[in-house]
Amino acid sequence: MTSEDTEAPAPDRGGALFDKHLADVVAVAFALVIVLYSASGPISEFVRWFIETTTPAFDEMSRRDQRVFLREHWLGAAYRSFEQSFLLPTGLIIGLPIVMSFAITLLTLHRKPGQRGINWGLTVLAVVAFSSWIIAIFASDAGALPVARPIDFVMFPLATAITLYLTWRLFGGFIVAFCLFWVIYFFAKGWLPEWTGILAGSESTMAQNLRQMVLQFWAQTGGMFGQPIQVVTGNVLIFIVFGAVLMASGAGDLLMKIANRLTGGMIGGAAHASVASSALFGTLSGAAISNVVSTGVMTIPVIRRAGFKPAFAGAVEAAASTGGQIMPPVMGVVAFFVAGQIGLEYRYIVVAAILPAAFFYLGTFLAVYFEARKRGVGALPPEARPKLTRGEWVQCLVFVLPLGTLSYFLFAQPSVPKAGFYGLVVAVVAAAVLFREFRSASRIWHAFVDAGRMAGSIVVIVTAIGLIVGLIQTSGFSGRLSQLLAEAASGPLPLVLIVVAFGAIVLGMGLPPGATYFIIVIALSSGIDTVGIAPLTLHLFVVFFAMMSTVTPPVALAAFAAAPIAGADPIKTGFEAAKIALAGFLIPFVFVYHPAVLYKLQVVFEWFGEDRVDSRAMIDIATVTWFEFFWIIAAFTLAMWLIASALAGYDRTRIAPVERLLRVALGGAVLLPQMILAGPAAVLGLALLFISPRLAGRPGAATT
């Protein structure tokens, strides 16, 4: 090999480095755009305040004169011009995040030497295609009727192909295959025979189908530009920046230290630290896979060293991280989808999720606790329990202040973007004051790079989800499925719920929770009233099972992410994770039959002086009592103690097989809505817990 051969790749390496730096610049710009859009409300308020305070006679003007003066004042006119040209156009609100997200990802997609040209070619094509859509939507905003232009028949397939290709590279082939199925179905539905049932659609030519697709998915804000991406760009992305800033500040290490300190003295303390840290991380990110990757590299090795098997160590992290998707105040993307879908303010969904999230982590805690007792894993030794210094206790304000600010604006002034913006501002200030390392431009730069990259990957998958949702709706399949479901809903409610739960889990095995949610909800769209439960209850039921699909084999994405870190078999890790997260499969049925779980805490809004919550999406909270609220807390705790110990086969001593079956039966009975059955079951369950150790202590009884 000559020296020329050995030196040839150098330009490629240099070019790849340039592309990475360029992608980082675009990522930072994207993060700043996200912040700017979320700050539009506070900026508008500041402009008005500034004009009012610098104009002595402003209060003496009539309201009409005040409005005119606000428009004509130099600052008001400048802001109005900026708002109309950048903050309000639909094309920029939706299109700019897509263009920047695709550029960020495509610039570094292929990393082998010599593949730079592919990255640049795809980037240019994506920017041109989506920019043409932005220009067309500008014309529509100006009053032009949406039409399918000849160029659109080129740009739409090009943009779709790039979207699916990028989705495949980032998220695997299942979701792409699922999307392609609906594309093919859209064109073939008219030729399907009647015996295919709800799949058979109206006849139309290929040209008519293509024109309809281009007109609705490209000339208007449908398909890739529909509700999923609109919800994400409007409400979700600012929380990605919020979490990235806190993690970059060094708060992640502090979070792990707090978790170990809180739980280290418990039996199985190492595993409980994983549960606690994932719950705390869930308040910031609300994403299962990122939680596994962020906390798992630190917690899983510690859990293994404590004496747990590799598969169980990975499963603990996978199960605990899954719960982060329903952990208030920053729940997963799906929670924002729920708010938009049922027309309910996000704060009510946050309050509804408080008790289910607590139940989930209670069940996870008990599963870990009994496994630890079974394997003789004790608390962490004192030297392994980190002590927080006085300075670190003060640094805990980096969580308290931003989350407090976020919660205040979510509850007192219900504006999600404004809450995210003010929470971010407080997070940046608190991190800069409390963490010396964060005061460097490099650290802040990398925080925004991470935020832009994470936001970019979310936009890519949500764009694909929007295409799937649009195809299902426009093809007419959702209407036929809704009709079928409405007919099925006349049957017993438990059967309907089981069908919905099964559908959410099966779809969720290959799709992100957001895609699963939308597909199931579209099917339910005209059958919700027939099902006979409140929309919020039904939608959260779907959300829970979409979430639980991440730990349900054979495709348990959270478990698959944890298994390599633990050095365990992914399938075995998935089954262990499903067992640890068993509470998540029970909680949706619990809050359907015990509505106090979701609705009783909504009374906090009345405590703060607001009127009683009145929404068609919710039940009347006056119909649930405090007795029902406290009863289900006690009943669920008892039920999970019985069931978790039965699954582990161990409580204070080893449990015989017959008693394990009895514990499961009594645990299920305690959760029944009929008190005439649940009450005696609770008494029998408590009695069993009391006498079980004494029975085990008799000669011949099973012991450790």
Report the alpha-carbon distance of residue 532 to residue 37 in Å, rounded: 39
pLDDT digits (tens, 9 = 90+) for 564-614: 778 887 778 888 888 998 999 999 999 999 999 999 988 888 776 677 777
Residue 42: how many CB atoms within 10 A of its CB? Answer: 15
Average pLDDT over residues 530-536: 77
Mean pLDDT of 200-219: 80
With a pLDDT cut of 70, the percent of the chain lying above it is 83
Q: How far is CA 333 from CA 133, 228, 546, in A?
A: 25, 9, 12
What is the rounded distance in angstroms from the CA atom of residue 702 to the CA atom of residue 658?
12
Q: Which of 355, 373, 369 is nearest to 644 (CA)?
A: 369
> What is the rounded CA–CA span in Å between residue 71 and residue 78?
9
Asked whether the beta carbons of 296 and 561 are under 8 A apart, the reply is yes
Work out the pLDDT band at 291, boundaries 50, 70, 90.
low
553 against 628, higher pLDDT: 628
The reported pLDDT for the residue numbered 527 is 55
pTM of the model: 0.74
Does residue 47 contact residue 79 with C-beta atoms inside 8 Å? yes
* pLDDT for position 490: 63
- In the predicted model, what is the mean pLDDT of the chain? 81
Q: Give the residue with greater pLDDT, 97 vs 563.
A: 97
Residue 127 neighbours by CB under 8 Å, 6+ apart: 99, 102, 103
Of 364 and 285, more confident: 364
Backbone angles phi, psi at 644, to 5 degrees: -65, -40
Tokens for 446, please give them.
């990398």
Q: Is the peptide bond before 494 cis (omega within 30 degrees of 0)?
A: no
Instruction: Give the domain ranges of the chain.
Output: 15-225, 625-693
For 101-131, what is each residue's pLDDT tens digit? 999 999 988 777 778 888 899 999 999 999 9
pLDDT tens, position by position, 630-651 = 999 999 999 999 999 999 888 8
More confident residue, 653 or 426: 426
The answer to whether residue 48 scores a pLDDT higher than 60 is yes
Which string of b and e fits 334-362 if b means at least 16 CB within 10 Å?
bbbbbbebbebbbbbbbbbbbbbbbbbbb
d(CA 105, CA 20): 10
CA distance 446 to 437: 12
> pLDDT value at position 330?
67
Lowest-confidence region among 269-278, 349-358, 425-434: 269-278
Question: Reduced to 3 states, what is the DSSP secondary structure of residue 568?
Answer: coil
Q: Quick one: residue 244, left, alpha or beta (phi over 0 = left, psi -120 to 50 = alpha)? A: alpha
Provide the pLDDT confidence category of residue 403 given band limits of 50, 70 and 90.
Answer: confident
Split at pLDDT 50, 70, 90, the class of 486 is low
pLDDT digits (tens, 9 = 90+) for 688-701: 888 876 555 554 44
Instruction: Tell me what percent of the residues of the chain surpass a pLDDT of 90.
Output: 19
Single-letter code of the amino acid located at 188: A
The tokens of 265 are what?
């003295």
Q: At which residue do the structure tokens 């290929």 appear?
A: 206
